Amino acid sequence: MRDRGRFKGGIKMRSNVKKEYKDLPIAGISLSNWVRLLIENQGVDRKFFEKAFYVSSESCKTLPLRVLESLKYEEKINNCEVKNPPIFILGYFRSGTTYFNRLMAKDKNLGYITRAQVNTGSSEIYLASDKVVQQRASATFPLAKEIDSVILQADDPGEEEWALANSFPYTYAVGFYFPRNFRKAVSQALFLEDTDNRIKNQWKESYQRLIKKITLGVQGKRLILKNPPNTGRIKTLLELFPDGKFIHLMRDPFKVYASNLNMRKKYFPLYGFQTISEAEISEDILWSYQKIMGKFLEDKNTIPPENLIEIKYENFLGNEMEYMEAIYRQFDIAGFEEASPTFREHISEEKEQYLRFKSQNKPNPLDLQMKNRISEDLDFAIRYWENM
């Protein structure tokens, strides 16, 4: 068996050696959707043929499990009622949403799709094949992200965008899998050029089905959904969930850019099937930040004021409990006192891990030319963040 990676204190570390691609959400994709993505995105670079073959193989092998899931649960999914409006956690990638989401997920009265269900390629089979999911998860988690101090656990909240990509062709995740087509994928995922609403209507149908499925899987608990692309889908989300609750986190755009560059340089080879240059990655970060944050600022006033909370991430750090209490109060979420001890414990653990990671990893400073470029391209966002 091929070695998946190194182990450090029981934590699985990603490695450059050949591996079995166990941390690869697209491994659970339907074969028809996979073939469609390959055709529409101009195929796979030679260096990623092995990974593409693995995805094709897994798609074929899990077909019986997807059929089983459909036979056992499709009617239940269709009939599932989402009684409590979901809580949407918004913010561009690397804005502190993962920390916030993992913290809020410590409240056991709330539900979500898990990392195990998403990242092991199990998003289309987890209701009917839980044992398979657990076997995959035990081989994958806990897993170091390596771009920050977070140690991912199997039962951590996942991002539904990656699950949606296994059954629907127009998602932000496609831009990670096929980075040469990143802008096309993002434009489709945010309905930027969807003049006849064809893609948007298909997305709404697929997304609503996924939310029903997640709700069914957590026995009707209120959902917390952290999904950065949703930051640019406010109006569409309100069409589905008029009383949805929204928490928007915003972090220093300069740090967000630098963190995204680091993340994509590391993750594109792991998740992707195409190679692009660092310069192209940089341009795509600035472009997508403009699009997503521009859409959010354009549409945020359509959210009823009582259903929106905006948080400057730098203010959240060190004051987490005060913010959490205010969120529970404004959104009328029960159980804050009950969840408080686990909140405090998680905050303490995360702080220790962060300080340890920070002492061992020094960020690369941005050069003056890049700082000037960010100041120019993201001026609207910088001013908004400064005034929060």
Q: How far apart are CA 284 and CA 266, in angstroms?
A: 15
Reported confidence tier of residue 351, pLDDT bands at 50, 70, 90: confident
CATH homologous superfamily of 7-386: P-loop containing nucleotide triphosphate hydrolases (3.40.50.300)
- pLDDT score, position 357: 61
- pLDDT score, position 146: 63
Structure tokens at 301: 């006033």
- pLDDT score, position 309: 99
- Strand partners for 151: 144
Closest CA to 258 of 177, 149, 371, 350: 371
Q: Which residue has the higher pLDDT, 23 or 76?
A: 76
Domain ranges of the chain: 7-386
Reported confidence tier of residue 137, pLDDT bands at 50, 70, 90: confident
**Side chain identity at residue 206, one-letter code:** S
Closest CA to 191 of 179, 181, 175, 203: 203
Of 96-100, 128-132, 143-147, 301-305, least confident by mean pLDDT is 143-147
- Name the region of 199 (left: φ>0; alpha: ψ -120 to 50; beta: rest): alpha
Q: How far apart are CA 94 and CA 258, in angstroms?
A: 9
- pLDDT score, position 2: 33
User: What tens digit of pLDDT does each residue of 96-114 get?
Assistant: 999 999 999 999 999 999 9
The pTM of this model reads 0.92
Reported confidence tier of residue 191, pLDDT bands at 50, 70, 90: very high
- pLDDT score, position 342: 97
User: What tens digit of pLDDT does each residue of 274-319 get?
Assistant: 999 999 999 999 999 999 999 999 999 999 999 999 999 999 999 9
**CB-CB contact of 61 with 68 (8 Å):** no
User: Tokens 């398979």 belong to which residue?
Assistant: 132
% of the chain with per-residue pLDDT over 70: 91
**CB-CB contact of 23 with 143 (8 Å):** yes
